[in-house]
Structure formats: C-alpha cells, structure tokens
A and B are shown apart, each in its own frame.
Chain A
Amino acid sequence: EVQLAESGGGLVQPGGSLRLSCTASGFSFSDFWMSWVRQAPGKGLEWVASLNQDGSGKYYVDSVKGRFTISRDNAKNSLYLQMNSLRAEDTAIFYCATDVVGGWAFDSWGQGALVTVSS
C-alpha cells in the first residue's frame, strides 16, 4: 500500500522559511515523479511543484519560482519542499502526491501539512 506522510508544517512569520518533508513507503520511490499540491483555507487545489525520478527535472508554479525548491533523497524515500520568503498568501495545507498508476494523475496523496504564514 502506497503511503505518503508529510511533516514540517507550522507557523512562520512573513519573510521566514520552512522545510516540508514527505516520507514515502509501499512503492519504489525512486521510480516515480513526486509533486507538491497546496490548498489555501476554504479554497481549491493548486499545483506547486513536481520533480522527476533522479531530481534533474524540476517544475514550479510561477508564484513560487525563486522562493521554493523541490528536492528528493531516493536513499531515504523522501521528498522535500524548501520554502523561503514566505508570504501570507502561502498559507495552505501542503500535500505530497505521486502518480504510481502511470496516467499522469495524482493517485496517491498524503494527509497534508498545514503551513501558516502570519505575524
């Protein structure tokens, strides 16, 4: 069974930094793209970033380019999201997601980590 577990969320001041982690199990982590998707309170889903199997291909939504960095450690079955220069509008639940079925769709999701940016 595929399992994804996010950690590292919390309260941070505007301009601050936070690093999210996602620990994966139940599948061959190094064989699959990994992504982050966020959801602001009471709002819809927004794709944030995706990373290919060996970490050489990274894609970001425009609103986080230059501030967020997605990375992975295949030896640790872990995905990361380093978030710098955080803004109030970054407040959201951040989900780790992957596509194991192979249809370029997010078939597996974690429970999410809440990031609150506020002074």
Chain B
Amino acid sequence: IVMTQTPLSSPVTPGQPASISCRSSQSLVHSDGNTYLSWLQQRPGQPPRLLIYKISKRLSGVPDRFSGTGAGTDFTLKISRVEAEDVGVYYCMQATQFPLTFGGGTKVEI
C-alpha cells in the first residue's frame, strides 16, 4: 500500500492552524473493521513519536490541538493552533497489511 502525503512542506505561523493530508493507494479498512492509520511526529535529532492511532485516537499525553480525521483512503492530521515545539516532520503510517508503509513525510516549519 502506497501512502502519499501532501504537502511536502508546510510553513506555518504560530497560533495558526495547519493541516496535513495522507492518501493510501487502497482502503485501509481491516477485515476486523478497524482502520490502522497512525500519525507520528519526528523532531530534529529525535526518534519518531506517536501522536494519533486508528485514525483519530490521541495517545495519552499528546496535546489536544492535534486531531486526526478520515476514512477509507483519505486521512488528515490537523493542528488547531501551531506552537513552536510542533516544528518537525510528520508521517502517516498504515498497519492494515504487511508490508507496513509510511508516507514520505511533511516538514512543518515556522
């Protein structure tokens, strides 16, 4: 399954919203009814950090300004009000079937 993210880069202004799109080459609905689409953030020099799983479930400790929506093949990560600490690269990932695949990444910069 090919994961395509847009945009490649997103200049943002602190306090303003930001949105990242992720599209899969086929439906991510698993035979068990779940959709295994997650979003990760990677700050410079750091390992990735999980933000959102199963489309919209926020991991404990993740600020509520991050939200995930979507279904089937189209998904979106939204940051309601960007903060300076949100700078980094964001990846979507599908785990509905092997091989697991990541999107190419979206760089969020102030």
Contact = CB atoms under 8 A, between A and B. Distances in A.
A is bound by B: yes
Given A45-B48, A50-B100, A105 B105 contact: no
B38 A103 contact: yes
Interface residues of B, number: 26
Contacts of B103: 44
Interface of B: 34, 36, 38, 40, 42, 47-50, 53-54, 57, 59, 89, 91, 93, 95-96, 98-105
Nearest to A60: B99
Interface string A18-45: 0000000000000000010100000011
B53 A101 contact: yes
Contacts of B100: 35, 47, 50
A95 B48 CA distance: 9
Given A44-B91, A103-B54, A59 B99 contact: yes
Interface residues of A, number: 22
B76 to A, nearest CB: 17
B43 to A, nearest CB: 12
Contacts, number: 65
Interface stretch (A9-17, A71-79, A84-92, A108-116): A108-116
A54 interface: no
Given A106-B93, A109-B49, 10 more contacts: A45-B102, A45-B105, A47-B101, A50-B98, A101-B53, A104-B96, A105-B53, A105-B54, A106-B40, A112-B47
